[in-house]
Amino acid sequence: MNFMKCSPSDIKAFRITPESTNYFALLFDRESGGTSSVAVIEIFEKGGATPPNTHSAADEMFFVLSGEGRAWCDGASTELRRGDSLLVRPGSEHVVENTGEKKLYTLTVMTPDEEFGALIRSGVPVELDAEDMAVLCGGAA
C-alpha cells in the first residue's frame, strides 16, 4: 500500500523524560509508516518549553494548531499563534515555549528524522486528555 492512515484512536503519546513540559502525539515515523521523517502533534503544557536543541541535518517545521508561544532561534525570537508556521534549518539552536494561558499545540515535522521518532518512543507514555483529543480531531482548544 502506498499510503498510511492514522486516526486519533491509533495515536500513542510520549514525554521524552518524566520532567519534560512538552509531549508528543506520534503520527508517523520510521516505525509507524516507514518514513525518513517524523510527524507529531507536539503539546506544550502551560509554561512548557523544549530544551535548547539543534539538528545536524534536519529541517524542523512547526505549524501552530492552537495556543500561543514564542520561538527562539540563534538568538532571535518570534511570537507564535494559531495558523503561524516556523521553519528551523539544520544547525540552528532553537527553543519553542508556551506563553499562553492554555496548552500550545503544534504539528511538528522533522526531515530527516535523525532518530527523533525512536527518541520519542523511548520516553514515558502519556494518556491524551479530552483537550488533546479535541485538537487532534480538528477542534481548537
Q: What are phi and psi of 62, to 5 degrees?
A: -120, 130
Query: pLDDT for 30-89, tens place per residue?
Result: 888 788 999 999 999 999 999 999 999 999 999 999 999 999 999 999 999 999 999 999
Over range 112-134, report the average pLDDT: 94
Looking at the predicted structure, is the pLDDT value of residue 28 above 60? yes
pLDDT at 141: 55
Global pTM? 0.92
Question: Domains of the chain: which residue ranges?
Answer: 12-136
Q: Mark out the alpha helices in the chain (DSSP H runs).
A: 116-121, 130-136
Task: Report which DSSP code applies to 53.
Answer: B
pLDDT at 33: 78
DSSP H or E stretch at residue 95: strand 94-98
What is the distance between the alpha carbons of residues 107 and 41, in angstroms, rounded to a whole number? 5
Out of 2.60.120.10, 3.30.1950.10, 3.40.50.360, 3.40.50.280, the CATH code matching 12-136 is 2.60.120.10
| Residue of 51, 60, 58 lying closest to 114 (CA atoms) | 58
pLDDT at 138: 78
Cα torsion 37, 38, 39, 45 to 10°: value is -150
pLDDT at 31: 85
Q: What proportion of the chain, given as a percentage, has pLDDT over 70?
A: 94
pLDDT at 5: 63
